[in-house]
């Protein structure tokens, strides 16, 4: 079992005599070292040459390198802000932080929505219903054949072609899709809602614990106590009771037309809407193919064997098919998430101010080209790395434990 | 199989034919198989009919195909303005298609750009045919590309010289894509070999760093970099034009992605192939060039073509640095005040052109995949 000696007869075998490296062209080790030195030297030389040129060019143009400019006043307006920002006083550092947050906002929402849509379409392609299968196939084929930038510009131009807020005069609707973006009613947030949310989160933890206890009981006794009544009580009934006990406040902040524009409610700008919409539709077409091939990669016998054991179709999917399919799905899915994040930089073409757009404006106005490009690259490298790490962790967690 | 085993097999019993022939039986099995399926079919069917009806109304029945000229000799868009939102204004395409396809290339010389497009198409067609997959292909490529550049620039045989900043439209898209691939592909093979190298750790490290760095950042960042940083990198007085800068960014970008595809092929090849080559006493380059690489590349033709498709679509990103490719030229065409509000029609035409290219490539990749499967299963 130790494995240190594979064959007892080999125990006395002598190791091949060790020769030192010969300083001769016929010695492969020596040759490899020479080659590598040459290649590394060449690349280092090129980099040195480019760096020297850069330093000279920067001197000629009187551009000071360094990140000091980040604390200068930016003076550019940013349409969508997640942290307080004032064009007159805020610094470039803050402007770029807004850009990074905007990229994050598109990427995270986009990843969630495109996963949902992509999974639905991928399953649709496997549907026994001919119409569903064909329609989803057409969707995938068409969206994958068109450049994303073209799609984004198209959606954006469609949104801009919508009637303006003025044309909705007298409308009784509470949701408005106008050329100025999507306006939605918002709930006036009160204490009762916060408390209901707190109870809901506690209920979520409680349900999770109950489910674990139920699984343990199933392992011990073979029968599993019902989970759904507990979940219903903790997740829906209790929060609603708390909300009702505190007076059941329910008022909406409805957008209304005032003058030439809408006021009230929440708003999603046409830039963000077009970017998110385009990214989600495009990425979903790729995710659909991944999901489809992942499910098809599970042999039919697995379905049949699980069915023969008497498992419910849903249990077959959850316990037998998905764990095997996910193993195939996760790695390409990760690269799609990365692609979506990188593709969100196309925002610059439709005027959504993500990190690329803000940095681009900055390098045009301050001339800090190297810093601007470095900021863009570092941001995306950091995003890529975090997504990869998260997905690798998830992949390791769901990976089938083989013998 | 066959002659010897066929006699011992019991004849297969005829299966009862569950699928009754006929369209009604087919519809019952594939469209109305259960209540839920029927509801879905009806709902989706209604939506499809409604959407198709609207599309036909807009694109054909209510469309304006032609508009009269005004006294000033310009097209008169009044009828298009009236039909806005109800019918398509194809008259705008009629007026603008030359600009969309050729950009600012001098009007009287656009036949040259047209011939270049035809030459590109011929080049792709020849490259897709397996009968041409030999050493002549490289000669064909070099020859064709030289002719294309000669035609585009001109300045000989009585052809007027056309400076590069006047080029535009589809030729720019094809030049970026084709040159990018032609130059990125050899680079990517070298990088893939370097990354798989076990005896050259320093080279391996450089290749890994290059691939991961480039794949981690968006193409736009590289284009920005090429646009604003390349001039800083170069000594004073040396300057590339914009198109060449974008081309360099494309090559660096594409090579990193292609290298990963090639590496996948090399990794999928059974180890015995390399070992057998070693046993025959072949040196590294003999082994790579005549044994492992040809087989590895064959394995990855479908993903390679998929990467090409993505790359072809990505050429549209030069819009962000203001190069007049097909998409940028079309956007410029939309800005014409005469055709104010006509954008959907132009996007639709662009989409058809891009989709034709991409669809041809993807169906080609599928057909190659099928052919390779046949040889694998033989």
Q: Do B224 and A372 touch (CB under 8 A)?
A: yes
Alpha-carbon separation of residue A29 from A18, B198, B205, B277 (angstroms): 13, 12, 18, 20
Q: Which of A18-27, A325-334, A357-366, B112-121 has the highest mean pLDDT?
A: B112-121
Query: Same domain for A365 and A313?
Result: yes
Dist. CA A104–CA A19, nearest whole Å: 57
- Residue A342's domain is classified under what CATH number? 1.10.3720.10
CB pairs under 8 A between A and B: 150
pLDDT on residue B375? 55
Quote the domain boundaries for residue A34: 29-62
In a domain, A83, yes or no: no
| pLDDT tens per residue across span A68-89 | 777 888 778 888 878 888 877 8
Nearest Cβ partner for B354 among A131, A147, A356: A147
Q: Which of 270-309 (B) contact A at CB < 8 A?
A: 309
Contact A161 B233 (CB under 8 A): no
DSSP string of A34-102, one letter each residue: HHHHHHHHHHHHHHHHHHHHHHHHHHHTT---SSGGGGSB-----SS-SS---TTT-BHHHHHHHHHHH
What is the number of helices (H) and of strands (E) in chain B?
A: 18, 0
Facing residue for B33 by CB, picked from A128, A141, A161:
A128
Please give the Cα distance from A119 to A141 (Å, whole number): 16
Residue with tokens 């042999």: A299
| Closest chain A residue to B33, measured at CA | A129
pLDDT at B255: 95
Check CB contact of B35 with chain A, cutoff 8 Å: no
**Per this entry, what is the length of chain A?**
403
Q: How far apart are CA B88 and CA B162, in angstroms?
A: 35
Please indicate whether, in this complex, the C-beta atoms of B221 and A40 are within 8 angstroms of each other.
no
Is residue A171 a contact partner of residue A313, using CB atoms and an 8 Å limit? no
Distance CA A29, CA A272 (A): 57
Structure tokens that stand for B264 in this block = 């996948």
pLDDT tens digits, residue range A154-201?
999 988 888 877 777 777 777 888 888 888 888 888 888 888 899 999
CB pair distance less than 8 Å for A345 and B221? yes
- d(Cα B221, Cα A144) in Å, to the nearest integer? 23
**Least CB–CB distance from A356: residue in B85, B221, B309:** B221
Instruction: Find the mean pLDDT for residues A367-379.
Output: 87
pLDDT of residue A402: 58
- In 3-state terms, chain B is what percent helix, strand and coil (to 5)? 75, 0, 25
Using a CB–CB cutoff of 8 Å, tell me whether B318 touches chain A. no
Determine the Cα–Cα distance for residues B191 and B176; give it in Å rounded to an integer.
21
Phi, psi of A207 (to 5 degrees): -60, -40
> What is the complex's ipTM, to 2 decimals?
0.87
Secondary structure (3-state) at A266? strand
Q: Do A128 and A47 fall within a single domain?
A: no
Q: Please judge whether A129 and B202 are an interchain contact, meaning their C-beta atoms are less than 8 angstroms apart.
A: no
C-alpha B128/C-alpha B304 separation (Å) is 13
Number of domains in chain A: 2
Cβ–Cβ below 8 Å for B344 and A161 = yes
- A372 in contact with B, Cβ within 8 Å: yes
In a domain, A245, yes or no: no
Q: What's the pLDDT score for residue A51? A: 86
Task: Extract the tokens encoding B154.
Answer: 């001109």
Report residue B26 as tokens: 């087919």
Would you call A263 helix, strand, or coil by DSSP? strand
Q: Which residues, in sequence order, are CB contacts of B304 under 8 Å at separation 6+? A: B258, B261, B262, B297
Q: What is the pLDDT of residues B197-217, one digit of tens each?
A: 888 888 899 999 999 889 888
Q: How many C-beta atoms lie closer than 10 Å to residue B76's C-beta?
A: 15
Nearest to B344 among A128, A157, A356 (CB): A157
The enclosing H or E element of B347 equals helix B344-377
- Express each pLDDT in A267-299 by its tens digit: 888 899 999 999 999 999 999 999 999 988 888
Closest residue in chain B to residue A160, using alpha carbons only: B341
pLDDT of residue B17: 53
Nearest Cα residue to A179 out of A297, A267, A93, A66: A267
Name which of A126, A129, A349 to mutate to probe chain B: the one with the most chain B Cβ atoms within 10 A of its Cβ.
A129
B200 vs A: CB within 8 A = yes
* Higher pLDDT pick, A22 / A314: A314
The whole-model pTM stands at: 0.85
Residue A182 has phi, psi (to 5 degrees) of -95, 125
Q: Cβ neighbours of residue B305 under 8 Å, at least 6 residues apart?
A: B361, B362, B364, B365, B368
Task: Output the pLDDT for position A401.
Answer: 62
Name the residue among B177, B351, B104, B336 with its Cα closest to residue A149.
B351
Contact A259, A250 (CB under 8 A): no
Nearest 5°: phi and psi at A261? -135, 170
Model confidence at B58: pLDDT above 90: no
* A215, pLDDT greater than 70: yes
- Looking at A161-170, A358-367, B152-161, which range is the least confident one? A161-170
Within this chain, do residues A37 and A112 fall inside the same structural domain, yes or no?
Answer: no
Q: Which residues of chain A lie closer than 8 angstroms to B341, CB-CB? A: 161
Nearest Cα neighbor of A265 from A141, A181, A376, A209 is A181
**DSSP alpha helix (H) spans, A126-147:** 130-144
Per the model's pLDDT, the better-predicted residue between B116 and A1 turns out to be: B116
| Average pLDDT, rounded, for chain B | 85
Judged by DSSP in three states, A128 sits in coil
On whether any CB of chain A is under 8 Å from the CB of B260, the answer is no
DSSP label of A168: G
Distance CA A323, CA A399 (A): 8
Could you tell me which residues come within 8 angstroms of residue B226 by beta carbon, excluding any fewer than 6 positions away?
B245, B246, B248, B249, B321
Note whether A293 contacts B: Cβ–Cβ < 8 A.
no
B103: left (phi over 0), alpha (psi -120 to 50) or beta: left
Whether residue B350 is predicted with pLDDT greater than 90 in this model: the reply is yes
The b-or-e profile of B40-57 (16+ CB within 10 A means b, else e) is bbeebeeeeeeeeeeeee
DSSP per-residue codes, B287-320: HIIIIIHHHHHHHTHHHHHHHHHHHHHHGGGGGG
CATH number for the domain whose boundaries are B106-377: 1.10.3720.10
pLDDT in tens, A22-34: 777 777 788 888 8
Nearest CB among A28, A57, A135 relative to B44 is that of A135
d(Cα A266, Cα B51) in Å, to the nearest integer?
Answer: 31
- Check CB contact under 8 Å for B351 and A39: no
Do A300 and A389 share a domain, yes or no?
yes
Residue B8: pLDDT above 50? Answer: no
The pLDDT assigned to B317 comes to 93
Helix (H) or strand (E) holding A187: strand A186-187
- HSE (CB half, 13 Å, CA atoms) of A16? 2
Structure tokens at A219: 């392992």
Q: Does B236 touch chain A (CB under 8 A)?
A: yes
CA distances from A104 to A88, A380, B207 (A): 25, 10, 29
Using the beta-carbon criterion (under 8 Å), do A146 and B45 form an inter-chain contact?
Answer: no
**Of A239, A74, A149, whose CA–CA distance to B218 is shortest?**
A149
Contact B351 A370 (CB under 8 A): no
Instruction: With respect to residue A170, please indicate whether it lies within any of the assigned structural domains.
Output: no
- Put the strands of the sheet holding A181-184 in their side by side order: A176-178, A181-184, A266-268
- A366 in B contact zone (CB under 8 Å): no
CA distance A224 to A217: 6
Among chain B residues, the shortest Cα distance to A52 is held by B233
**pLDDT over 90 (residue B93):** no
Residues of A in contact with B229 (CB under 8 A): 369-370, 373
Taking CA atoms, B153 is separated from A57, A261, B170, B202, B328, in Å, by 31, 52, 16, 43, 21
Is pLDDT above 50 for B4? no
Write b or e for each residue in A17-29: b if 16 or more Cβ atoms lie within 10 A of its Cβ, otherwise e. eeeeeeeeeeeee
Percentage, residues of chain A above pLDDT 70: 93
Bridge partner residues of A261 (DSSP):
A258
**Residue B29 and residue B21: Cα distance in Å, rounded?**
11
CA distance B102 to B112: 10
> Contact, A341 vs A387, CB < 8 A?
yes
In a domain, A68, yes or no: no
Q: Kindly state whether A48 is in contact with chain B, defined as any CB-CB distance less than 8 angstroms.
A: no
Note whether A98 and A57 are same-domain residues: no
């Amino acid at each position: 079992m130790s494995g240190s000696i594979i064959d007892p007869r080999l125990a006395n075998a002598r190791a091949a005599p060790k020769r030192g490296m010969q300083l001769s062209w016929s010695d492969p080790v020596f040759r490899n070292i020479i080659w590598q030195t040459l290649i590394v030297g060449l690349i280092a030389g090129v980099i040195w040459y480019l760096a020297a040129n850069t330093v000279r060019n920067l001197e000629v143009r009187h551009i000071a390198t360094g990140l000091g400019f980040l604390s200068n006043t930016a003076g550019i307006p940013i349409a969508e802000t997640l942290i307080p920002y004032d064009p007159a006083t805020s610094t470039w550092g803050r402007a770029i932080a807004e850009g990074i947050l905007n990229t994050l906002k598109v990427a995270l929402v986009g990843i969630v929505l495109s996963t949902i849509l992509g999974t639905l379409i991928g399953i649709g392609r496997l549907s026994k219903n001919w119409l569903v299968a064909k329609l989803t196939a057409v969707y995938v084929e068409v969206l994958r054949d068109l450049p994303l930038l073209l799609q984004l510009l198209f959606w954006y131009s469609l949104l801009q072609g919508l009637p303006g807020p003025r044309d909705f005069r007298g409308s009784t609707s509470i949701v408005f899709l106008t050329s100025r973006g999507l306006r939605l009613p918002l709930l006036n947030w009160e204490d009762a809602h916060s408390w209901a949310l707190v109870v809901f989160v506690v209920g979520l933890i409680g349900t999770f614990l109950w489910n674990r206890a139920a699984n343990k009981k199933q392992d011990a006794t073979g029968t599993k106590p019902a989970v759904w009544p507990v979940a219903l009580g903790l997740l829906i009934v209790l929060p609603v009771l708390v909300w009702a006990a505190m007076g059941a406040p329910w008022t909406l902040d409805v957008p209304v037309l005032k003058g030439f524009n809408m006021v009230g409610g929440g708003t999603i700008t046409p830039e963000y809407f077009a970017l998110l919409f385009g990214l989600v539709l495009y990425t979903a077409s790729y995710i659909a193919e991944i999901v489809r091939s992942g499910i098809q990669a599970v042999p039919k016998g697995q379905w049949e064997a699980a069915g023969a054991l008497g498992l419910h179709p849903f249990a077959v999917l959850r316990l037998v098919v998905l764990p095997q399919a996910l193993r195939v799905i996760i790695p390409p899915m990760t690269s799609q998430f990365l692609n979506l994040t990188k593709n969100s930089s196309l925002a610059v073409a439709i005027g959504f101010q993500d990190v690329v757009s803000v940095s681009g404006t900055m390098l045009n106005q301050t001339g800090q080209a190297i810093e601007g490009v470095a900021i863009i690259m570092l941001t995306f490298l950091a995003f890529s790395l975090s997504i990869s790490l998260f997905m690798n962790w998830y992949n390791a967690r769901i990976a089938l434990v083989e013998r | 199989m066959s002659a010897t085993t066929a006699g011992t097999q019991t004849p297969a019993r005829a299966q009862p034919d569950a699928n009754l022939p006929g369209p009604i039986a087919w519809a019952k099995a594939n469209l109305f198989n259960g209540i839920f399926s029927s509801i879905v079919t009806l709902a989706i069917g209604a939506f499809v009919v409604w959407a198709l009806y609207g599309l036909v109304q807009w694109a054909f029945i209510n469309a304006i195909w032609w508009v009269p000229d005004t006294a000033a000799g310009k097209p008169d868009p009044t009828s298009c303005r009236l039909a806005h939102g109800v019918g398509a204004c194809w008259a705008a395409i009629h007026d603008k298609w030359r600009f969309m396809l050729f950009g600012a290339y001098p009007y009287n010389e656009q036949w040259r750009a047209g011939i270049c497009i035809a030459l590109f198409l011929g080049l792709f067609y020849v490259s897709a045919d397996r009968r041409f997959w030999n050493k002549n292909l490289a000669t064909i490529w070099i020859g064709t590309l030289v002719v294309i550049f000669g035609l585009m620039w001109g300045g000989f045989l009585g052809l007027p010289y056309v400076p590069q900043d006047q080029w535009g439209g589809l030729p720019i898209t094809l030049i970026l894509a084709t040159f990018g691939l032609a130059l990125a592909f050899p680079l990517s093979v070298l990088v893939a070999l370097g990354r798989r190298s076990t005896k050259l750790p320093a080279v391996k490290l450089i290749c890994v760093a290059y691939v991961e760095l480039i794949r981690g950042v968006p193409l736009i960042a590289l284009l920005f970099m090429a646009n604003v940083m390349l001039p800083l990198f170069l000594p004073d007085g040396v300057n590339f034009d914009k198109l060449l800068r974008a081309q360099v960014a494309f090559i660096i970008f594409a090579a990193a992605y292609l290298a990963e595809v090639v590496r996948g092929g090399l990794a999928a090849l059974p180890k015995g192939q390399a070992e057998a080559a070693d046993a025959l006493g072949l040196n590294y380059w003999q082994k790579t060039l005549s044994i492992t690489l040809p087989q590895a590349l064959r394995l990855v033709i479908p993903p390679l073509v998929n990467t090409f498709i993505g790359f072809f679509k990505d050429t549209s990103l030069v819009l962000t640095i203001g190069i007049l490719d097909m998409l940028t030229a079309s956007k410029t065409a939309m800005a014409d005040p005469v055709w104010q509000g006509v954008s959907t029609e132009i996007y639709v035409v662009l989409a058809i052109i891009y989709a034709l290219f991409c669809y041809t490539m993807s169906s080609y990749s599928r057909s190659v995949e099928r052919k390779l499967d046949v040889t694998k299963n033989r």
